[in-house]
Amino acid sequence: MSETSTSLIRRLRGRATGLAVAGTVLVLAAPASVTAAAPDPVSVLTYTVKERKAAVSYWTAARIKAVGKSADLGPTGPKAKPYKGVALKTVGRLFFVNANGADTWCTATAVKSANRSAVMTAAHCVRRGSSPGNTNTDMVFVPGYHKGKRPYGTFAVRSAATPRTWVYDSTDDLSALVVDADKNGRKLTDVVGGQAIAFNRPVGGTISALGYSATRPQLGEELLRCVGTAKKADGTQAIPCDMTGGSSGGPWLAGFSTTTGKGTLVSVNASLDSLTPTKMYGEIFGATAKKVYDRAQKA
């Protein structure tokens, strides 16, 4: 459970030292008229049909129960409270095996998309930052998860797009996934709907952040919610919240209604201010986030 216990700890972000530049590389000078192509700003992981089938089989009810019991990150609240409102079909647990080989989970959200199959989460739920070879496997999305129930099925993750800046520099902690159709051939948002998503939105206003935090007594079995006003913070945005590991990747919804279950996704849970959290940080969805989302929705 190392992912849920450590992944939300506040990172140094832009001040972190990337590992990609280690070592010395000999480069031959090119003619002045030749310009090297800019690297793709989006990195994409893909999973084979065999791997996706294996992932769905891997996440049995017993394994899901066990992974929750393996984590206890302290008591829930006082800022985070159990979500009360209409059933949230779009938000679910994202199960995977991390780069260390440990079963773990994050939170993710189905969003409106051209292919009706896109899901937003945090980049650190997909791969370790500044470490290109450390990626997660056996990844499935379970929308509407609640106390062991999977009312809308289990969707294998087919591909995961993250910013190149996350892969090499641990910045821009967001990801857009593409999931397979369910066992009946239905696409994700045809089954559960999708939240609207906004880019280049000014920071501010009331935000509902949701996640399957590994705090007790819920231990990831129930959706928790923080509500607060978003404020700019060190190139990102922050709200008062004490959810911790397991809530990674959960949605920040502006204009959220507990009656309709709808809002507009403006960020995802990315990191905390300390081991005893008081604030949750999320990226500001701008041009980079739009490129990542577009890569997924067009896949």
Q: What is the pLDDT of residues 68-78, one digit of tens each?
A: 999 899 999 99
Question: Which two three-digit tokens encode residue 46?
Answer: 């893909």
Tell me how far apart the alpha carbons of residues 235 and 282 are, in angstroms, rounded to a whole number. 10
Question: What pLDDT is stored for residue 276 in this prediction?
Answer: 86
- Spatial contact of 164 and 48, defined as CB atoms under 8 Å apart: no
Alpha carbon distance 211, 197 (integer Å): 17
Taking the chain, what is the end-to-end CA distance rounded to the nearest angstrom? 31
Band of residue 272 on the pLDDT scale cut at 50, 70, 90: very high
- What is the amino acid identity at position 139? M
What pLDDT sits at residue 274? 87
In this predicted structure, which of 117-126, 143-152, 268-277 has the lowest mean pLDDT?
A: 268-277
Residue from 48, 42, 45, 197 nearest 110 by CA: 197
Is the pLDDT at 154 greater than 50? The verdict is: yes
pLDDT at 275: 84
Q: How far apart are CA 42 and CA 289, in angstroms?
A: 10
- Per mean pLDDT, which range of 33-47, 90-104, 114-128 is the poorest? 33-47
pLDDT of residue 35: 52
The tokens 């906004």 sit on which residue? 198
Which of the four pLDDT bands, split at 50, 70 and 90, describes residue 4? Answer: very low
Mark residue 204 as left, alpha or beta (left: phi above 0; alpha: psi -120 to 50; beta: remaining): left
Specify the pLDDT at position 20: 23
Phi and psi torsions of 295, nearest 5°? -60, -40
Average pLDDT over residues 218-228: 98
Q: Where are the alpha helices (DSSP H) in 95-187?
A: 164-169
- What pLDDT does residue 38 have? 77
Under the banding of pLDDT at 50, 70 and 90, the label for residue 36 is low
Average confidence (pLDDT) over 140-169? 98
